[in-house]
Amino acid sequence: MKKTVLALSIVTATAVAAFAADDPIAARKAIMQGNGAAAGVTAGMMKGEIAYNPAAAKLAIASLNAAAMTFGDYFPEGSDMGADTTASPKIWEDPEGFKAELAKFQSAAGAAMQASGKAGPADLDAFKAAMGPVLGTCKSCHEGYRVKN
């Protein structure tokens, strides 16, 4: 399982790096799709629709942690328009505020990563405690820095 996670993150990271320079909008959208999938597995387990599994929990946390470390690199000047981006102009008008939101995401995801240890959070309560703050940063940033149509 650990190897799979590692391989997955390497594949994701390489793929993103290859395209990112040409198409930052596609890159950041792909990262967000990954976040959505991680949140989906998380919510499934939290709601009891998917049986709790520490390895799957760790995969979700690791995936969000990787996203937190890389996501902010894909907002170069000039990538505020086109390709149906839902990024708010505020990202470029208030870069410090955006960075502060990213920092919240990074610190929450980093702490969750720490807490999950080698085998992933031991039980559902540990997972909820680790993941809750990470999920809270989604809307904290989307409140001011995303525009939905």
Partner 1 sequence: MIRKLALIVVLAAIAGGLVFYVLTLPQTLPRDVLAAMPDGDAARGETIFWAGGCASCHAAEKAQGDDKLKLGGGHVLASDFGDFVVPNISTDPQTGIGGWTAEDFANAMLRGVAPDGAHYYPSFPWTSYARMETGDLADLWAFMQTLPAVGNDPGPHRLGFPFNIRRGVGMWKLLYAGSEPAVPLDTADDKVLRGQYLVEGLGHCGECHTPRDFAGGLKKDLWLSGAPNPEGPGRIPNITGGEGGIGSWSEADIAYYLESGFTPDFDSVGGSMVAVQENMAKLAAEDREAVAAYLKAIPAVDSAQ
Residues that bind partner 1 (CB under 8 A): 36-37, 39-40, 43, 47, 86, 88-89, 135, 138-140, 142-143, 146-149
Task: Provide the token pair at 82.
Answer: 């086109």
CB closer to partner 1 out of 21 and 37: 37
Q: Following DSSP, what letter does each residue of 75-99 receive, concatenated?
A: --TT-SSSTT--B-THHHH-HHHHH
CB closer to partner 1 out of 12 and 29: 29
3-class DSSP state of 60 = helix
CB closer to partner 1 out of 86 and 114: 86
Taking the complex as a whole, the smallest distance from the CB of residue 141 to partner 1 amounts, in Å, to 8
Taking the complex as a whole, the smallest distance from the CB of residue 10 to partner 1 amounts, in Å, to 24
Taking the complex as a whole, the smallest distance from the CB of residue 21 to partner 1 amounts, in Å, to 26
Handedness of CA 13, 14, 17, 22 (dihedral sign): negative
Q: How far is CA 124 from CA 4, 37, 74, 145, in A?
A: 22, 18, 33, 31
CB closer to partner 1 out of 77 and 149: 149
